[in-house]
A and B are shown apart, each in its own frame.
Chain A
Amino acid sequence: MVSLLKRSLAIISILIIGYWLAQGLAGVPFGQDKMLVGHYYLQHVKEQTGAVNAVTAIVVNYRGFDTLGEVTVLFIASTGVGALLWRKKRERTAKTEGSVVLTTGVELLFPFIVMFGSYIFIHGHLTPGGGFPGGATIATAFLLLYMAFISYEIPHRLFENLEGIAGMSYVLVGLIGLAIGGYFLFDWIWQTWHWGTSNLGRLFSGGFIPVIYTIIGIKVGTELSGIVDNMLKEEVGE
């Protein structure tokens, strides 16, 4: 009956914490216009960044440091998984192949999922989404391949190189901004070159947002696929 005591104590403390949070939220006026910085973003996002999607403009352009940090977090997670699960000799240990329906379906769906993921990260400045959802979608396609086939493995050499190159090119784009505009992650394509300025709301606009989101999409896709690959392998005794 210790577990019952434990459980009721946990429930009571969670209720207290929830009541406390609700009391805090009760003072927040929902549905009222309390924006300070938000107004600035909404009014200037188009001429300053060229993006129709204000969220991606803020995430990549106004506050690009955060996104760089997120990419770093993902990279560290991938490296950490690789380091934790490192063994000399590891193989896939799936016992049963998926049925013919499953393998055929995955074969048919795989290019479409990759295409859709690329669509998401290429159109990050126009439609909801961006690099992270697009990359996760692409990683899902590789996860499907892993699930349906016994001995599938991602092309490791290619993926690891792509991941590194993508990460470096993100920093490189920021450094070019530093060289041209004077601060890191300065949007040189839009602010200095005025490239695509007459093209607002179409694919070739948005300054460096599509470029950076393509980089992030490739990086996130390869990284999550690598994590899946690491986790699905087991040590083989020899």
Chain B
Amino acid sequence: MNALAALGEALVLIGTFFYFLSALGLIRMPDVYNRMQTSTKSATLGSLGVLVGTGLWAVGDGLSWAWFVKATVIAVFLLLTNPISAHALIRAAYKSGIPLWQGSVVDKYREHIEAKASPGAAESESTEEGGEE
């Protein structure tokens, strides 16, 4: 049982480390899109580590498996919802005209929108996958 507790503690440590990286990325990254990228990815992973880790830790300390089940349910919920919310936020940021970082070199989405706005004008960018827009 103590192996489970040790595994849980290690997972919580890894999770908090990713939380720290996520906060660091929020400070260090230049624009909204990069910040969202770093913060959501590592925060999701950190939450998974912390939640599953606390579940295992509790079981290893002699509490019931209900802890692990509940923590896993919350982890799965976060895993499913966090990317959707990040997607919605980034899409809303792009739609409201927040510019990319000046170091960015390519903006295929704008080309896609422009190609759709004036068909025939830009055949060269017709290689994108057909998103909804």
Closest chain A residue to B87 by CB distance? A101
Q: Is the CB of B81 within 8 A of A102?
A: no
Give the complex CA separation of A109 and B91 in angstroms. 20
Specify which of A96, A102, A109, A112 is in contact with B87 (CB 8 Å cutoff). Answer: A102
Specify which of B80, B88, B95 is in contact with A102 (CB 8 Å cutoff). Answer: B88
Mask, B60-100, CB within 8 Å of A = 1, is: 00000000000000000100110010011001000100000
In this complex, which of A96, A101, A108 has the most chain B Cβ atoms within 10 angstroms of its Cβ?
A101
Q: For the complex, is A98 an interface residue (Cβ under 8 Å from B)?
A: yes
How many A-B pairs have beta carbons closer than 8 Å: the answer is 20
Interface size on B, residues (CB 8 A): 9
Q: Is the CB of B80 within 8 A of A109?
A: yes
Specify which of B77, B80, B88 is in contact with A98 (CB 8 Å cutoff). Answer: B88
Q: Is the CB of A99 within 8 A of B87?
A: yes
Mask, A71-100, CB within 8 Å of B = 1, is: 000000000000000000000000010111
Majority DSSP secondary structure for residues of A touching B: helix
Q: Chain B's nearest CB lies how many Å from the CB of A146?
A: 14
Q: Is the CB of A105 within 8 A of B81?
A: yes
Give the complex CA separation of A102 and B85 in angstroms. 8
Residues from chain A with a CB closer than 8 A to the CB of B84 are: 101-102, 105
Q: Is the CB of A99 within 8 A of B80?
A: no
Chain B residues in the interface with A (C-beta under 8 A): 77, 80-81, 84, 87-88, 91, 95, 132
A-B contact pairs, 8 of them (CB 8 A): A98-B88, A99-B91, A101-B88, A102-B88, A105-B81, A105-B84, A108-B80, A109-B81
